[in-house]
Amino acid sequence: MGAATLYQLARAGASVVGIDRFAPPHDQGSSHGDTRITRLAVGEGAAYIPFVRRSHVIWRELEAESGEALFEQCGVLVMTSSEAPARHHGSEDFTGNTIELARRYGIDHEILHASQIKARFPQFGPIRDDAIGYFEPEGGFVRPEKCIAAQLDAARNLGAAVITGETVSSIESEGGVVRIKTGERTIMANKAIVCAGMWSANLLGEPFSALLKVCRQKLFWFKLEEPSIFPQLSPTFILSHGPLETDICYGFPPIPGEGSMKIATEQYTALDSIDTLDRTVSDEEVAQMYQSHLAGNFAGVTPELVKAAVCTYTVTPDYGFIIDDHPAFANVTVVSACSGHGFKHSAGIGEAVAQRTLTGRSDVDLSAFSLSRFGAR
């Protein structure tokens, strides 16, 4: 969110500075792991659809400008393979809600039954005979590290300053001026936008420290059998294979030359402290992932781990975003807490937040992401 907003502000001609405690793109927060799913019919709700539409356009613009491949339009397959629909990101029937939104907003899609899924995508051969799938050809995945780098490079080329390796220790607002302090300097600004992810609660105080929880996530890349049964054009996927929120996994087609499939789940147990985040994945966690989600649901994937990674989700009580003014600090906007489904929206959100910051309004309605829904204003 920070890289996207910085780029869009610089693109609009603003005098802007970006600050990061690390040197993005990096693997210390939420926006890494090689690939992130993108889809137009966002089962979390209609308010997100305009962001994805704009993001797809912006990714293509950035590709033309940077020469980097950022957006792979391989399609996305959302499936339910269980007796009952699964709850996901606050939706009681995630696949059903995705289908309904696609129909309502004219998003190109197909409804696939189990036999059709198995015939087109044999890696899902073990799914139940009553499974149902939603296939969206305009979906796919974006490459987060490359997207962040492309936006930061473009922002620098447009005159933005980027300060890395410095941690913001405090934000103060008085007399219409915002004062941002790091261990190295103090920056005075007319406005500040905070996109601090897992560090937001500690930096921003109430009500954010009460609303946000940080949850550890694990990403796995399992080796494929040879010869691979994966079709050349395989989609990204979200698979609900049981009635519980823990009975969901998501993943990506094999990247050429890697011989593995990336797959992950979502965990919502809050960390005791972000300073104690375990960034290693244990053998027990690898075995549990394979037995709980791959075995019996996928063909052509072995239990052998190629690599693993850890990231974090910063989650709100309703799994939605927060895009709003800080209630205690004038001229400070908070743009973060994306509950694990933010990256696909980030380019469009950066554009909307830049518009709101510079003109007081944005082309996309942001009211669904207000703090008022938590009674916090």
**pLDDT at residue 376 tops 80:** no
CA pair distance 125, 304, nearest whole angstrom: 20
Which structure tokens are listed for 376? 């916090």
Distance CA 332, CA 158 (A): 23
For 269-280, the three-class secondary structure string (H helix, E strand, C coil) is CECCCHHHCCCC
Omega cis (within 30) before 25? yes
Binned at pLDDT 50, 70 and 90, residue 246 comes out as confident
Rg of the chain's alpha carbons, rounded to an integer? 21
Residues in the chain, how many? 377
State whether the Cα torsion 142-144-149-152 is positive or negative. positive
Preceding amide of 207 cis, omega within 30: yes
Spatial CB neighbours of 93, under 8 Å, sequence gap ≥ 6:
85, 86, 87
Q: Confidence band (pLDDT; 50, 70, 90) for 91? A: low
Quote the pLDDT of residue 189: 98
Percent of residues, the chain, with pLDDT higher than 90 = 92
d(CA 49, CA 214): 25
Q: Which of 88-102, 125-139, 203-217, 331-345 has the lowest mean pLDDT?
A: 88-102
Instruction: Render pLDDT for 311-337 as a digit per residue (tens, 0 to 9).
Output: 999 999 999 999 999 999 999 999 988
40, 53 contact by CB (below 8 A): yes
Domain assignments of the chain as residue spans, ordered by start: 2-36+144-204+321-371, 76-137+213-315
Tell me how far apart the alpha carbons of residues 15 and 206 are, in angstroms, rounded to a whole number.
Answer: 29
Residues 251-270 have pLDDT tens digits of: 999 999 999 999 999 999 99
Domain 76-137+213-315 indexed as CATH 3.30.9.10: yes
Q: Where are the strands (E) in the chain, listed by range?
A: 17-20, 36-38, 71-72, 76-80, 110-113, 132-136, 140-142, 161-164, 168-174, 177-182, 186-189, 192-194, 213-224, 236-240, 248-251, 260-264, 301-315, 322-325, 332-336
User: In whole angstroms, what is the distance from residue 7 CA to residue 12 CA?
Assistant: 9
Please give the model's pTM, rounded to 2 decimal places: 0.96
Residue with tokens 């936008």, as numbered in its chain? 193
Phi then psi for 15, rounded to 5 degrees? -85, 115
Cα→Cα distances 250→107, 153, 204, 227, 235, Å? 21, 30, 32, 23, 11
For the domain spanning 2-36+144-204+321-371, the CATH number is 3.50.50.60
Written in H, E and C, the secondary structure of 324-349 is: EECCCCCCEEEEECCCCCCHHHHHHH
246 three-state secondary structure: coil
Whole-angstrom distance, CA of residue 39 vs CA of residue 78: 10
